[in-house]
A and B are shown apart, each in its own frame.
Chain A
């Protein structure tokens, strides 16, 4: 019998090394997406950038403030703002990463290999969302708690340090990290819907970056429009990284929702985006 032997030691195509129990499971698909995401340089660079930029920026602002002494009237919420300053850049990087995770598969043709291996398309999207969320949220946690740790000695010198045990502080740091993770998943949904890097990034940055500057402008002319401002994606995200309202410190006065509500609004945006992406993924030929 002839078998495919090209060199004396080449194995045959017959796979004694494929177990007969090998099959699709969601855990296997998650593992595959984990390998795919972590084996791309762009992912590694994006995640590193979120952490390094976030901690660096936070430390820089804290040090600058300490030298010019504007922190005379510090409060836990002001410290929180400088600690979570990494959100500003982090959300943009997370959004771009989220789009690229799927648009990169379409532009290179990888999507056909992916869907041929895993014909249940929604499982692919779900696995991508889970892996992306875990990776970006982890980077967010490193950023936020890293920023807290890095700035702590500087603030302590001023007597302004805030401990993790302070009411709501640690929760707000976790909220900031979760917001970054959700931003990436929100962008993944848009990328799946639009199937292109340019379109997906434009749409994602439009929502994350542009919407909350445009809406207040329209709000000057049309009053009810300003009422939706707290429900915009990035405003709700900022709310996730706040201390809950207390006496003399109301989030409503600065146009923000309470942290819990902010989280719900961001989750809602993310789900809508994922569902729209899922519908196109499921309905249309790859």
Chain B
């Protein structure tokens, strides 16, 4: 369980995290989304006590991270795959991490096996691929058998087998009753793995809901309609927020009205309808809609794509 209260971090005059509140509940995977620079990594660093909040607080299992007597048993963290000395072997790295809590070599061997690192455990980390580095970081995060697991971009650099491994692992951790906070830029992966989403934009929480709700809220009003009387339908549904566009196959897509409303209007206007389907978009579409709104809402001028993603 992670709880943030009015959590704020400023770097000089720049506000990276602007007083956010959220909870990461046990027993489910919480996805942490947002454009680069939205404050995800800063928030994760504050959870782990690496950055000090400017104001507000974040607690893990009821206490600030640094007040825990056995932090590795409370929280396992993969902040980035490169947080390992390149001159040390994977085994010695894990051994040194485990030693801080008096965790024995048996557990070190266990996590090496769990992460599939047996073959390279005694090689120096400097020669590791990005994927191997990720596996080592995940192994380190699980060393203390923690109740809360935080993984920042864990599938970054992994091959398809590795991506699948992380998905299974993360689902398993949640099924065991642990709290899992997971960030990723891969929306399809997030849609398959996460139960709940927290979306950040410019240091604020712009969505905090289940994956289905986020998708529905961002894209619920797009409906595919097939009718022989497109002109009539267009007149009947006309309104300030309603838009109609024609598809190549002769059907049209209406936005701004729910499928039920369109059906009722067509029936009253005696327009035949041959097909009426509410289109659900992907998490990626929903995410793009959410974060695009965020950027437009806050900027006086429409930013260039580069600025929008900063």
Contacts and interface: CB of A to CB of B under 8 A. Distances in A.
B176 A24 contact: no
A39 B176 contact: no
A25 B102 CA distance: 8
A28 B97 CA distance: 10
B104 A17 contact: yes
List of 9 A-B pairs having minimum Cβ-Cβ separation, nearest first: A15-B145, A4-B172, A119-B66, A23-B70, A39-B92, A32-B99, A4-B169, A110-B85, A35-B96
A285 B45 contact: yes
A6 B142 CA distance: 15
Interface of A: 1-6, 10-15, 17-19, 21-25, 28-29, 31-33, 35-36, 39-42, 104-105, 108-113, 115-120, 285-286
Interface residues of B, number: 56
A285 B50 contact: yes
Given A6-B168, A23-B102, A285-B52, A32 B96 contact: yes
Given A39-B88, A116-B49, A117-B101, A2 B171 contact: yes
Contacts of B85: 36, 40, 104-105, 108, 110
Interface string B73-107: 10001011011111111001101110111111011
A17 B87 contact: no
B213 to A, nearest CB: 24
Given A22-B102, A32-B97, A108-B85, A4 B73 contact: no
Given A36-B88, A104-B85, A13 B145 contact: yes
B61 to A, nearest CB: 14
Interface stretch (B30-38, B110-118, B271-279, B286-294): B110-118
A278 to B, nearest CB: 16
A79 B144 CA distance: 55
Nearest to B167: A4
B172 A32 contact: no
Contacts of A33: 96
Contact of B100 (A118, A285, A286): A118
Contacts of A42: 87
Contacts of A36: 85, 88, 92, 96
A116 B71 contact: yes
Interface in B159-198: 165, 168-173, 175-176
Given A14-B176, A17-B106, A117 B92 contact: no
B140 A119 contact: no
Contact of B101 (A3, A22, A110): A22
Given A116-B83, A286-B50, 12 more contacts: A3-B175, A18-B145, A22-B73, A22-B102, A28-B100, A35-B95, A40-B88, A109-B83, A113-B93, A119-B65, A119-B68, A285-B45
A127 B143 CA distance: 21
A3 B65 contact: no
Contacts of A286: 50-51
A116 B50 contact: yes
A106 to B, nearest CB: 10
Contacts of B68: 119
Given A11-B110, A116-B48, A4 B173 contact: yes
Contact of A18 (B69, B144, B168): B144
Nearest to B52: A285
A116 B79 contact: yes
Contacts of B80: 109, 112
Contacts of A1: 175-176
28 contacts: A1-B175, A2-B172, A4-B114, A4-B173, A13-B114, A13-B169, A13-B173, A19-B102, A19-B103, A22-B70, A22-B102, A23-B70, A24-B70, A28-B101, A32-B100, A35-B96, A39-B89, A39-B95, A40-B85, A109-B83, A111-B83, A112-B45, A112-B80, A116-B49, A117-B71, A119-B49, A119-B68, A285-B50
Contacts of B87: 40-42, 104, 108
A286 B49 CA distance: 9
A14 B147 CA distance: 10
Contacts of B65: 119
Contacts of A29: 100
Contacts of A24: 69-71, 100-101
Interface string B266-309: 00000000000000000000000000000000000000000000
B56 to A, nearest CB: 15
Most buried by B among A3, A22, A33, A35: A22
Contacts of A109: 80, 82-84
